[in-house]
Amino acid sequence: MNEHDAVFAQLATLGASLVLLFGIALLWRRSLRAYTKAFQWQSLVLSGMFVLVGYFGHDPQLYLMAVFFFVLKVLVIPWYLARLQRQVGGERESQPYVNIATSLITSGVLVLLAYIITRPVVRVSALPTRGGLPLAVGLIFVGLFVTITRRKALTQVVGFLVLENGIAMLAVLGTYGIPLIIELGVFLDVLMGFLVMQVFVYHIHGTFESIDVDQLDQLKH
């Protein structure tokens, strides 16, 4: 491995760790605002990763992707989230299904699992970015975990978005970005999904005066 690739590998792993850290930071926080903030920072670092991979991987398309990504995930979605939050009130994720310390340790174990699962891939891969692959898979797990264990509809939405970030990171690190058109399609999907969820949040809030999804079981009666 030459000097150039070595620096690239180091930076890619560092960036991926940072992205993952913001995902884990999510688990520690309680207020919805902190969730949004953490997501925003994570997306910012991730768009930086796009630029990084674009620069070292000599793929100018990725710069464009980075811009899209930045606009959508650092500006638009957080802004929307903030608006939603104002409308539904500042509820806190005070009682997740799994308490915070346990969530944190579980997430650590999930990342460990991700390392073990991706090990065969990483071992045969020659990419300089391979160090980040387990972290991306770990981030997907953490996102899923957030979605599963948090009670509020909004925090679940953030969990979903984090999961999507994980997929994006996997794509950019694993293949240096899939073709632009597919990527754009995915972005659009995410946006659509997000909007649908937003509508749901409104409705849940309108019906129960709360966005605690625990209340949904009342619909049975």
The site for another protein (CB under 8 A) is made up of: 6, 10, 13-14, 16-17, 20-21, 24-25, 28, 99-102, 104-105, 107-108, 111-112, 115-116, 119, 122, 131, 134
Q: C-beta of 95: minimal distance to another protein in Å?
A: 13
Q: C-beta of 24: minimal distance to another protein in Å?
A: 6
Using alpha carbons, list the distances in angstroms from residue 166 to 22, 23, 184. 11, 9, 16
Measured from the CB atom, the residue of 25 and 171 that comes closer to another protein is 25
Residue 194 exposed, middle or buried by CB count within 10 Å (0-12, 13-18, 19+)? buried
Measured from the CB atom, the residue of 13 and 47 that comes closer to another protein is 13
Rounded distance, CA 188 to CA 181, Å? 11
Measured from the CB atom, the residue of 102 and 175 that comes closer to another protein is 102
3-class state of residue 31 by DSSP:
strand
With CA atoms as reference, report the closest residue to 132 among 40, 213, 56, 36.
Answer: 56
CB 181 within 8 Å of CB 197: no
Instruction: Give backbone dihedrals phi and psi of 2, rounded to 5 degrees, phi first.
Output: -80, 175
Q: C-beta of 214: minimal distance to another protein in Å?
A: 19
Q: C-beta of 190: minimal distance to another protein in Å?
A: 27
Q: C-beta of 203: minimal distance to another protein in Å?
A: 33
Rounded distance, CA 100 to CA 38, Å? 16
Tokens read off for 8: 């690239």
Measured from the CB atom, the residue of 40 and 198 that comes closer to another protein is 40
Distance of CA 114 to the CA centre of its chain: 15
Measured from the CB atom, the residue of 21 and 167 that comes closer to another protein is 21
Q: C-beta of 137: minimal distance to another protein in Å?
A: 13
Q: What is the residue type of 126? A: A
Measured from the CB atom, the residue of 67 and 112 that comes closer to another protein is 112
Residue 39 exposed, middle or buried by CB count within 10 Å (0-12, 13-18, 19+)? buried
